[in-house]
C-alpha cells in the first residue's frame, strides 16, 4: 500500500498525540506504520484462503447481486434486516452499532442518500463477507474504496475483541501488557490497522471514512479526543447528522481535552486535503 507523505505524517502525528495523552509508549513500528507496503498479516487467521478460481469469484459476484437487489428493494433498515438470516442480521447490527447507527435509513430517500456520504449499502456489507482479507487488500490497493472500508472494519472489530477480552482500554495498552518477546505480532496488527484506516480516509475523505478513522484510532490508542474530532470532520464533509451524533456521544462519553480535540481536527483536515488544492 503506497501512501503519501501527507498521509504518513498525519497518521503518525495523531498516533503520537493521542497515545501521548494516555501515557502509553507507541511501539516504534506503529509510529512508522503507513510507510510500509509490506503490510503485516491480518490480526487473526480467521479469513479463509483467498478465492483463486473463477467459480468462487462468480459465486461471490452472484451473491453480491442478490444482496444489492435486496438493498434496493428495502424501504427501511428494519425491513432489510427482516429479509436476511440471523447471522447476517447480527453482523449488520454490529456494524451499525460500531458507526453510531449511520448505516440505518427509514425510507428510500434516506437509503439513496447514504451513498453520497460514502456509506456502503447493507447488501454491499454482506457481500464483503464473501472475500478474504487478502482479496480485499488487493482490491483496495487497486483503488476500490469500499474494499478498504470493509478491511479496515474487520481490523477494528478484531482489535476490539482482543482488547476487550484482555480487559484493556486500547489495543496499544494490550500490546504493551504483553511480555516483550510476545509483542511483535500485536505491533504488526497495530501497524496494519493504522495504515489501512489512514489510507481509507486520506484517499477517499467522506463522512463515513472520517467516522471510521476516528473509531480505528480510538481503538488503537484509547484516546477520547479523536472520536469527537472525527465526528466534527464528518459533519464538515457533509453528514448533517453529525451534530446529533456528537451531542449523543457527549451524553455518555468521558470528557475530552478541548485542545487535543482541536489538534486532532486540524490533523484530519490536513490529511483530507487534496494535494492539488495545496499551495
Please indicate, yes or no, whether residues 35 and 76 belong to a single structural domain of this protein.
no
What domain range includes position 209? Answer: 5-48+167-277
> Of 79, 107, 128, which residue sits at a domain end?
128
Average pLDDT, the chain: 80
User: Is the same domain home to 175 and 273?
Assistant: yes
| Low-confidence winner among 21-35, 63-77, 215-229, 258-272 (lowest mean pLDDT) | 21-35
pLDDT, tens digit, 9 for 90 and up, residues 197-219: 999 999 999 999 999 999 999 99
147 falls within a domain: no
82 and 43 both lie in a single domain: no
Same domain for 72 and 29?
Answer: no
Between CA 232 and CA 131 the distance in angstroms is 32
271 and 230 in one domain? Answer: yes
pLDDT at 5 over 60: no
Q: Is residue 274 very low, low, confident or very high in pLDDT (cuts 50, 70, 90)?
A: low
Determine, yes or no, domain membership for 186: yes
How many domains would you assign to the chain? 2
Last residue of a domain, one of 128, 155, 178: 128
Q: Is residue 196 domain-shared with residue 265, that is, in the same domain? A: yes
182 with 263, same domain: the answer is yes
With a cut of 50, say whether residue 153 has pLDDT above it: yes
Say whether both 194 and 251 belong to one domain. yes
Quick one: 210 and 234 in the same domain? yes
Q: Does residue 8 have a pLDDT over 50?
A: no
Clarify whether residues 92 and 22 are in a common domain: no
In a domain, 253, yes or no: yes
268 compared with 256, residue with greater pLDDT: 268
Q: Let me know if residue 181 belongs to a domain.
A: yes
- For residues 74 and 92, membership in a common domain is answered with yes
Residue 157 included in any domain: no
User: Considering the domain boundaries, does residue 149 fall inside one?
Assistant: no
In a shared domain, residues 59 and 120: yes
Classify residue 83: in a domain, yes or no.
Answer: yes
Boundary of a domain, candidates 128, 157, 182: 128
Asked whether the predicted pLDDT for residue 12 surpasses 80, the reply is: no
For the chain, give the secondary structure using H, E and C.
CCCCHHHHHHHHHHHHHHHHCCCCCCCHHHHCHHHCCCCCCCCCCCCCCCCCCHHHHHHHHHHHHHHHHHHHHCCCHHHHHHCCCHHHHHHHHHHHHHCCCCCCCCCHHHHHHHHHHCCCCHHHHHHHCCCCHHHHHHHHHCCCHHHHHHHHHHHHHHHHHHHHHHCCCCHHHHHHHCCHHHHHHHHHHHHHHHHHHHHHHHHCCCHHHHHHHHHHHHHHHCCCCHHHHHHHHHHHCCCCCHHHHHHHHHHHCCCCCHHHHHHHHHHHHHHHCCHHHCC
Higher pLDDT, 100 or 278: 100
Q: What is the mean pLDDT of residues 16-36?
A: 41
Whether residue 146 lies inside any domain: the answer is no
Q: Which three cell numbers stand for residue 203?
A: 484517499
Amino acid at each position: 500500500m503506497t501512501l503519501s507523505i501527507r498521509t504518513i505524517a498525519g497518521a503518525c502525528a495523531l498516533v503520537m498525540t493521542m497515545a501521548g495523552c494516555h501515557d502509553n509508549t507507541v511501539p516504534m513500528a506503529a509510529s512508522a506504520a503507513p510507510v510500509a507496503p509490506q503490510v503485516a498479516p491480518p490480526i487473526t487467521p480467521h479469513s479463509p484462503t483467498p478465492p483463486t478460481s473463477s467459480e468462487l469469484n462468480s459465486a461471490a459476484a452472484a451473491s453480491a447481486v442478490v444482496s444489492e437487489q435486496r438493498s434496493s428493494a428495502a424501504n427501511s433498515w428494519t425491513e432489510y434486516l427482516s429479509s436476511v438470516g440471523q447471522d447476517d442480521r447480527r453482523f449488520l447490527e454490529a456494524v451499525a452499532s460500531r458507526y453510531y447507527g449511520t448505516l440505518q435509513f427509514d425510507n428510500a430517500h434516506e437509503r439513496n442518500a447514504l451513498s453520497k456520504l460514502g456509506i456502503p449499502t447493507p447488501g454491499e456489507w454482506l457481500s464483503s463477507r464473501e472475500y478474504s482479507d487478502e482479496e480485499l487488500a488487493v482490491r483496495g490497493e487497486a483503488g476500490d474504496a469500499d474494499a478498504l472500508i470493509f478491511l479496515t472494519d474487520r481490523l477494528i472489530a478484531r482489535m476490539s475483541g482482543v482488547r476487550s477480552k484482555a480487559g484493556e482500554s486500547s489495543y496499544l495498552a494490550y500490546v504493551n501488557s504483553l511480555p516483550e518477546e510476545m509483542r511483535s505480532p500485536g505491533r504488526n496488527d497495530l501497524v496494519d490497522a493504522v495504515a489501512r484506516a489512514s489510507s481509507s480516509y486520506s484517499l477517499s475523505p467522506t463522512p463515513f471514512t472520517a467516522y471510521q478513522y476516528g473509531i480505528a484510532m480510538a481503538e488503537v490508542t484509547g484516546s477520547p479526543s479523536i472520536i469527537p474530532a472525527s465526528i466534527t470532520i464528518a459533519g464538515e464533509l457533509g453528514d448533517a447528522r453529525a451534530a446529533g451524533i456528537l451531542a449523543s456521544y457527549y451524553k455518555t462519553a468521558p470528557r475530552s481535552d478541548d485542545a487535543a480535540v482541536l489538534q486532532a481536527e486540524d490533523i484530519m483536515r490536513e490529511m483530507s486535503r487534496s494535494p492539488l488544492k495545496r499551495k
